[in-house]
Amino acid sequence: MRDTRFDTIRVQSPEGGYDIVLGHGTLDSLGRLVGELGLGRKVVVASDTNVAPLYAERVLAVLTRGGFEAALAVMPAGEGHKSWDSVEMFVEAFLDAGLDRGGWVAALGGGVVGDTAGFAASVYMRGVDFVQIPTTLLAMADSSIGGKVGVDHMRGKNLLGAFKQPRLVVADLDVLASLPAEQVACGMAEVIKAGVIGDEVLFGGIDDGRVSYVMRHTSYVMRDDPSRMTYDLRSTIYDSLRRAIEVKRGIVERDPYEAGERALLNLGHTFGHAFEKCTGYNRLHGYAVAQGMVVVCRLAGALGICDDGLAERVERVLGAWGLPVRWGAPDLEYKGAVERVWEAMMLDKKRANGRLRLVLPEAIGRVRLVDDAPEGTIKSVLMETK
Ligand SMILES: NC(=O)c1ccc[n+]([C@@H]2O[C@H](COP(=O)([O-])OP(=O)(O)OC[C@H]3O[C@@H](n4cnc5c(N)ncnc54)[C@H](O)[C@@H]3O)[C@@H](O)[C@H]2O)c1
Ligand SMILES: [Zn+2]
């Protein structure tokens, strides 16, 4: 039975479809939502050291009321812990909880927890059921959907991973109230990305200022009255988040295993990953993606793939959300940084057959893959956008 207070978006996948349930207060319905799926009785809720103190007790209680036997496992927060060590720690917790093949794992957290716990669920006893409870805007808009899970390796991001489709995604917008403003902005980087890739109306809604207005006041609002921020976020982010989810849903349904079209979701990410790598992963992912998007929009303009106004428009929208649109500061300002970034890109795993494959915008809402853009043009755009 569907709850009319919530939006439900169905995603088709090779391993069977799943629902994304989106709304305010969805967490309180978690017991019922998973109950309808007929999942096993034992569950481990995987979370991190920031999210667990805020929401784990509530999630454990709602699951217990729903008749589940729920245990908690907590990893240290942060991208630096999206690692093999954390996978092992989760596996230990699954064993301690007596999780068998009929048990399941719930990831309660941002993309780091979702990717890490999802990977642990995909290898534990050759795979147990997995439910995503994303708590960041980025995880709601992007990482909880489509079944990519994995961890980083010292030599590169996301080098160890698998496809593991969730059985359910439950996104409760109320939890965004505790998310730091810069993390909200990072999530918006992926929402804006979705607009550039595939939804002009989504991008337009953000561009006309309706949404950015709220952000300019966010730090003030949060400091003075956290509940007001929740209220403002309610009326503004909701629509763009729903549309961003639809963009991702369409792409992962058509290309679940990244054989082609799914690569379009990497808009801004080839450069973004290079910035992250060159800063020892000290840069927020959303910041790096925003900076990477500026580079590819400028590059598309320089190559005559889109008109010149596009880059300006994208920069304006990113800037309105407090996202950085130049990639140098704070720690890549030195001479030679362009070369360093270029070298990191050459090592990027997304090189196809030794070629550098980039996603470039043709217009807002339409992108294409371009192989082997000229090195000289790339480097001069990098120089310009530093
Ligand atoms: N699997 C995919 O398809 C996919 C897609 C995009 C990104 N990703 C991955 O997602 C990761 C980034 O995800 P992220 O931005 O959510 O990072 P994150 O999980 O590190 O969360 C950001 C920070 O916010 C904290 N936090 C989370 N929810 C909170 C809440 N409600 N209130 C207060 N604090 C909260 C976290 O503890 C963390 O400190 C990257 O590792 C990236 O590679 C994966
Ligand atoms: Zn991303």
| Alpha-carbon gap, residue 335 to 109, rounded angstroms | 38
Joined tokens for residue 220: 């003030």
Joined tokens for residue 316: 């304006």
> What b/e readout covers 250-285, taking b as 16+ CB neighbours within 10 angstroms?
ebbbebbebeeebbbbbbbbbbbbbbbbbeebebbb
Q: Among 83, 163, 146, 71, which Cα is nearest to 108's? A: 71
Across 8-36, average pLDDT: 95
pLDDT for 38-52, tens place per residue?
Answer: 999 999 999 999 999
Report which protein residue has its CA nearest ligand 1's atom 6: 143
pLDDT at 96 over 60: yes
Q: Among 335, 334, 312, which Cα is nearest to 325's? A: 312
pLDDT at 7 over 60: yes
Would you call the peptide bond into 76 cis, given omega within 30 degrees of 0 as the criterion?
no
Q: Are 113 and 143 in contact (CB under 8 A)?
A: no
Rg over alpha carbons for the chain, rounded to the nearest Å, is 20
pLDDT at site 11 = 98
DSSP state of 355: B
pLDDT band at 238 (very low <50, low <70, confident <90, very high): confident
At 369 the three-state DSSP class reads: strand
Over pLDDT 70: what percentage of the chain?
90
pLDDT for 156-176, tens place per residue?
Answer: 788 899 999 999 999 999 899
> Is 266 annotated in the active site?
yes
pLDDT at 211 over 60: no
Find tokens 């409870």 and name the residue.
Answer: 133
pLDDT for 23-34, tens place per residue?
Answer: 989 999 999 999
pLDDT at site 226 = 46
Give the closest ligand to the alpha carbon of residue 256. 1
Atom of ligand 1 nearest to the CA of 158: 43
3-state helix, strand, coil in the chain (%, to 5): 50, 20, 30
pLDDT at site 156 = 76
pLDDT band at 224 (very low <50, low <70, confident <90, very high): very low
Q: Among 286, 79, 325, which Cα is nearest to 188's? A: 286
Q: How many angstroms does the Cα of residue 193 sit away from the middle of ligand 2?
A: 9
Phi, psi dihedral angles at 267 (to 5 degrees):
-50, 125
Catalytic residue among 248, 277, 283, 298: 248
| Alpha-carbon gap, residue 261 to 141, rounded angstroms | 18
Rounded to 10°, the helix 181-198/285-302 angle is 30
Report which protein residue has its CA nearest ligand 1's atom 34: 179
CA 318 to each of CA 161, 196, 203, 293, 366: distance values in angstroms, whole numbers, following the listed order: 30, 12, 11, 9, 18
At 370 the three-state DSSP class reads: strand
Burial class (CB in 10 A: 0-12, 13-18, 19+), 208: exposed
CA 291 to each of CA 235, 243, 303: distance values in angstroms, whole numbers, following the listed order: 27, 22, 19
* Pocket-forming residues, ligand 1, beta carbon under 6 Å: 48, 50-51, 54, 77-79, 82, 109-113, 115, 135-136, 138-139, 142-143, 146, 148, 158, 175, 178-179, 183, 186, 285
Phi, psi dihedral angles at 344 (to 5 degrees):
-60, -40
| Alpha-carbon gap, residue 239 to 159, rounded angstroms | 33
Catalytic residue among 42, 82, 266, 276: 266
At 43 the three-state DSSP class reads: strand
pLDDT at site 219 = 44
Would you call the peptide bond into 330 cis, given omega within 30 degrees of 0 as the criterion?
yes
* Average model confidence (pLDDT) across the chain: 91
pLDDT at site 349 = 58
Q: Across 165-250, where does the E strand assignment appear?
A: 168-172
| DSSP labels, 72-123 | EEEEPSSGGG-SHHHHHHHHHHHHHTT--TT-EEEEEESHHHHHHHHHHHHH
| Alpha-carbon gap, residue 132 to 143, rounded angstroms | 10
Q: Which residue has the higher pLDDT, 224 or 17?
A: 17
Give the closest ligand to the alpha carbon of residue 288. 2
| Alpha-carbon gap, residue 73 to 65, rounded angstroms | 19
Phi, psi dihedral angles at 162 (to 5 degrees):
-155, 170
Find tokens 């800063």 and name the residue.
Answer: 279
Q: Which residue has the higher pLDDT, 209 or 158?
A: 158
| Alpha-carbon gap, residue 353 to 350, rounded angstroms | 9
